[in-house]
Amino acid sequence: MSATTRMIAAATIAPLCLAMTACSGAGQAPAADPAQDQTLTVWAWDPNFNIYALTEAEKIYRETHPDFRLDIVETPWDDLQPKLTTIAQAGQTDQLPDIFLMQNYSFEKNVVNYPDIFSPIDGAALDFDEFPASVVASSTVDGAHYGVPFDSGTAITALRTDVLAQAGYTIDDFTDITWEDFIAKGKDVLAATGMPLLSTTSGNSDLVMMIMGSAGAGLFDAQGAPTIAGNDTLLDVAAIYKELIDSGVLVIVNSWDEYIGSFVNGSVAGTMNGVWIAASIQTAQDQAGQWAITNVPRLDSAPAATNYTSNGGSSWAISANANVDLATDFLASTFAGSVDFYNTILPKSGAIANWTPAAGAPAYTEPQEFFGGQAIYAQVVDYGGKVPTAPTGVYHTEGRDAVNTALTKIADGGDPVQAFAEAQATVEFAMK
């Protein structure tokens, strides 16, 4: 690291030190004995979701550990990642919390680039087989576990059953189908009702990545090399994406707010996304009872095609500065060990478990009136166990950004082969 870089890092870290009790310095009391200290500091975002879940986990753990406390520091993801980067580059691991939340898509990149900020998680302390293999893989590097999965990104197809009925269809007609079937039926719905089935934002690769993931395919090989150019599966998916747009079954909007508004205001008959989208769907109270969910279409051409995929999700990391034994036991006893915990947090926060035993909790098996009486949460946990593992790679974010640009060109009539070749070149340049 250059002297200039060190100065920049130090200047960035200085204000962090003032706000974080983990910083050392003159005039501070000696650090508590880790063996006696029963407080864990945690960085996480979203008071109504992740932080609410932490407070409930703390209550459960205190039932058997009465001196236990969590010091929760609300830290938006857009702030958390730069903090981690700055601390890692400056070598100031004593400024880390005990536990921090990490987006699954960023986990591998952070572990590979900044291994000194993480503590591996003892596989004997909790059963990783009780989580979907595809989710566990996102925080597993060189055979070592670095994350405890939390919220689910398992994908659903959510559709308006009253709109489908106008075209003579039910939700069963969209279950376990191919994309060819989906587009054909989407055209029928459009002709009968004037409503597209889906919407997405301009240049957003989420839908394309979900389709890729359903076949266990990605943008990188197992060694982390980009496979965007000449990727037959990606070309097939791009053709589906283009046909969805050209047929009118998929409509492109300009922003996230417009995307949410498209199905909440009734201009689009459904959506396909991670299950967390259910919270937004349910804001349309006038549509209660008129929605249902099912799995996603599968690729016609891919040998490994399934009807299951994911988008999003996060996992808990234990830092190199942690009381590792206490942090591990806390996570193992709550996020990876308590049905009561997940039964408590689901109704209020909509936090759906990746931990598969939670599917038996009453809150998961209860029929949801908004979704026509479906027990959608148990259904989603079942879906999650069937999502194939797809390689991501350290440069996954750069790959997605490059594919976003390519998709915009393709949607405007550009040559997919050329667009993806340019995307490959962009990623290769970023990797130098």
Domain architecture of the chain: domains with CATH: 37-152+311-360 (3.40.190.10), 155-309+388-430 (3.40.190.10)
Asked whether 247 and 183 are in contact (CB, 8 A), the reply is yes
d(CA 130, CA 405): 37
Q: Which of 93, 262, 292, 260 is nearest to 175 (CA)?
A: 292
Cα–Cα distance for residue pair 51/41, rounded to 1 Å: 12
Q: What is the pTM of this model?
A: 0.83
Q: What is the pLDDT of residue 223?
A: 87
Query: Buried b vs exposed e over 196-227: b needs ≥16 C-beta within 10 Å?
Result: bbbbbbeebbbbbbbbbbbbbbbbbeeeeebb
Closest CA to 101 of 69, 116, 79: 79
Helices 206-214 and 232-247: crossing angle in degrees, nearest 10, is: 130
At 17 the pLDDT is 38
For residue 379, which of 284, 275, 297, 272 has the smallest C-alpha distance?
275
Q: Which of 153, 150, 68, 151 is nearest to 336 (CA)?
A: 150
Which class for 16: exposed (0-12), middle (13-18), buried (19 or more C-beta within 10 A)? middle
Check if the beta carbon of residue 289 is closer than 8 Å to that of residue 299: no
Query: Residue 362: which residues within 8 A CB-CB, separation 6 or more?
Result: 343
User: What is the pLDDT at residue 351?
Assistant: 85
Cα(26)–Cα(17) distance, rounded to whole angstroms?
12
393 Rama sector, left if φ>0, alpha if ψ -120 to 50, beta otherwise: left
* Beta-carbon count within 10 A of 74 CB: 13
Q: How far is CA 277 from CA 103, 158, 236, 259, in A?
A: 17, 9, 26, 11
Residues contacting 188, CB < 8 A, separation 6+: 167, 168, 169
CB 308 within 8 A of CB 215: no
- For the chain, residues with pLDDT lower than 50 are 1-32, 34-35
Helix 232-247 to helix 416-430 angle (10° resolution) is 120
> What is the reported pLDDT for 301?
87
Q: Where are the beta strands (DSSP E) in 58-124?
A: 69-74, 99-103
Measure the CA–CA gap between 384 and 308, rounded to whole angstroms: 7
Instruction: Determine the pLDDT at residue 160.
Output: 98
Helix, strand, or coil here: 197?
coil
3-class SS at 281? helix
Q: Which helix (H) or strand (E) holds 16?
A: helix 3-19
CA 397, 75, 224: angle at the middle one, nearest 5?
Answer: 20
Angle at the Cα of 51 from the Cα atoms of 47 and 56, rounded to 5 degrees? 125
Write down the pLDDT at residue 31: 42
Extract the tokens encoding 177: 């189908």
Looking at residue 222, its pLDDT comes to 85
pLDDT at 36: 64
